[in-house]
Structure 1
Amino acid sequence: MIIEDETFQLYKEYVGFDSKENLERHLSKMRLQLLQHGPPFRCIDTFRFSTPRIRPRFYYSKILEDGQTQSDPLLIDIGCCAGTDLRQLFVDGYPGHALMGVDQSQHYINCGYDLFEDHNHCPIQFVTGDMFTMNLPPKPASVIMTNSLIHLLTSEAQVRALVGRIVQWLRPGGLFVGCHVALPCTGTIERHHTLKYYFGKEDLHRLLQAFHFEHIQMECTPHNDHQPNSPTFWLSFCATYSPPSPSTMS
């Protein structure tokens, strides 16, 4: 396991780890604990659950600035797993009371408390449930994130249902941001000896437009999945929700 300096800095500042060796032992223990329940996602098997992967995204500075300047900046991370990105946001200055993580697995959320040793002082609210059946949040969100979520869906209908639900949770002018593995065009390819469905970049752009998102920005970065000639890539996106006004619709 290679622990990057940025990862170590998060655990040093938030938890108090004094060496990479001690952190490596802790992360190895947590990996086994996370794998006890739920699907064996590669992000857990390869220790990516422990790394704050949100910082390199082009939209990170934007959402962090909004959190520090807006008066009511609720950010919801859907599919938050152990909540690593949310804790990075908090360390970097996003108000803890305005951060919410949603995941279907209470086990992952509980492991997050063990991972960051903050059972009694975590400033972030975590909720267990399925966003398609959960009640709406108490107030519309300023930002909704779906990191490493869309590539877990298996059809266009599921992606459409996800975006449709998100606009119910998001305030006008709010941001929908995320990052996932994608293809240029929607399709199914063999990956790690199984057929895997990926929603295409252009189809996502069109879908966001259909749900009244504007200022859609996308960025593609290499996807290292250890498969030669793989056409997949990481797709980061940021879009602003701009629903038509009632007067426009009438």
Structure 2
Amino acid sequence: MLLGDITFQTPSKPIVAVDTSLYNLSTEEAAFFKAQTGIDDDEDLKKHILEVQAKAYEVAPYPCIHNFIFLRLNLSRISVYEHILKLGRERPDALLLDIGCCFGIDARKAAADGFPAKNIIASDILNEFLQLSHELFKTTPAAYPGCFLPGDVFDPAFLSIAAPSDDVSPLPAIDLSLLKSLNPLHGRISAINAISFFHLFNEEKQLHVAKALAGLLSAQPGSVICGYQVGNPEKGMVNTSIAGSIHQLFVHSPNTWTSLWDGEVFEKGSVKVETELVEAAIREVQYFMMKWSVVRL
């Protein structure tokens, strides 16, 4: 089967069963989900999360759902997170986009930490994930102030490629509840979170998405795009294995990722790119993850 451009290579068993033994929450994550859901008991919280995870895995069996990586508070662990929260506090009408958000957990965390929820857009190609976000967090579309926007980033009717804006003049506020696509937000977004997103696609599509997101970013200095994805010391195809299911994906190195943003997507020298390659493991499987940020100067 195919999820994005990730190919699963086990014809006899293309989708591995959910392994509930992989469930774990750090102290910080447990406190966050308890505060957000109102479920104080650890076992009750686990039961609730497992129920939502099972539904999500039927929708799309992504490795991050199988391995409970979707529960990680990844955005808050990237070095520019406090900068993003500061933009939300201090920049008038600052907007935060959580793209490929799955359940929008990073968007919910940012809102809990002070970025105005009414100025946060969480977007995923699968509307079922956005609906499951409400089930996971025990909210309703009518009561939750954030914007959930389903759509395909490769559909130009939803997100067309526009040149990065160089206009730093203030723009009038926009009513996010009226959005049908991301296109009205060209040049408006202060911060874009793209965690566990780029590595879903091949090299050509990663460049396409980078250009599309760059067109959304505000020209104001300090506007930022950041992410956390599978990486490697050398760019190319890598194989990872999850419970016997092998999948291949294209990944960038820190050097090629930096040159893509600084010189290909944005004009050379107009952005500051930071990358950090860290070793990770799921049981016996070793791989690299890359934290990164692109800040307009």
TM over 0.5: yes
Amino acid at match of 2:211: G
Q: How does 1:220-231 map to 2 (within 5 A)?
A: 220-227=277-284, 230=286
State whether residues 3 and 24 of structure 1, in contact with CA within 8 Å, keep that contact through their aligned partners in structure 2. Answer: no
Aligned position for 1:23: 45
Out of 235, 240, 244, the residue aligned to residue 186 of structure 1 is 235
Aligned position for 1:248: none
Q: How does 1:61-72 map to 2 (within 5 A)?
A: 61-72=82-93
What is the DSSP-based 3-state SS (H/G/I as helix, E as strand, rest coil) of the residue aligned with 1:196?
strand
Amino acid at match of 1:121: A
Query: What displacement does 1:227 show?
Result: 4.5
Amino acid at match of 1:195: Q
Please identify, of 203-212 and 232-241, the stretch whose mean Cα deviation from structure 2 is larger: 232-241
State whether residues 75 and 193 of structure 2, in contact with CA within 8 Å, keep that contact through their aligned partners in structure 1. Answer: no
Q: Does 1:235 align with 2:290?
A: yes
Aligned length in residues = 238
Gaps of 5+ in 1: 243-250
State whether residues 97 and 189 of structure 2, in contact with CA within 8 Å, keep that contact through their aligned partners in structure 1. Answer: yes
What is the DSSP-based 3-state SS (H/G/I as helix, E as strand, rest coil) of the residue aligned with 1:171?
coil
Aligned position for 1:166: 213
Aligned position for 2:57: 35
Out of 172, 183, 207, the residue aligned to residue 260 of structure 2 is 207
Distance in 1 (alpha carbons) for counterparts of 2:34 and 2:284 = 34
State whether residues 189 and 196 of structure 1, in contact with CA within 8 Å, keep that contact through their aligned partners in structure 2. Answer: yes
Distance in 2 (alpha carbons) for counterparts of 1:227 and 1:200 = 23
Q: How does 1:25-104 map to 2 (within 5 A)?
A: 25-38=47-60, 40-104=61-125
State whether residues 179 and 237 of structure 1, in contact with CA within 8 Å, keep that contact through their aligned partners in structure 2. Answer: yes
Amino acid at match of 1:107: E
Query: What displacement does 1:30 show?
Result: 0.7
Please identify, of 46-55 and 83-92, the stretch whose mean Cα deviation from structure 2 is larger: 46-55
Amino acid at match of 1:184: P
Distance in 2 (alpha carbons) for counterparts of 1:47 and 1:227 = 16
State whether residues 167 and 241 of structure 1, in contact with CA within 8 Å, keep that contact through their aligned partners in structure 2. Answer: no
Deviations 1:111-138 (A, max 9, x none): 1110001114222101010123214134
Distance in 2 (alpha carbons) for counterparts of 1:238 and 1:3 = 26
Gaps of 5+ in 2: 1-22, 159-180
State the Cα RMSD in Å.
Answer: 1.6
**Percent of aligned positions with the same letter in both sequences?**
22
Structure 1 runs (4+) deviating above 4 angstroms are none
Distance in 1 (alpha carbons) for counterparts of 2:24 and 2:293 = 30
State whether residues 262 and 272 of structure 2, in contact with CA within 8 Å, keep that contact through their aligned partners in structure 1. Answer: no
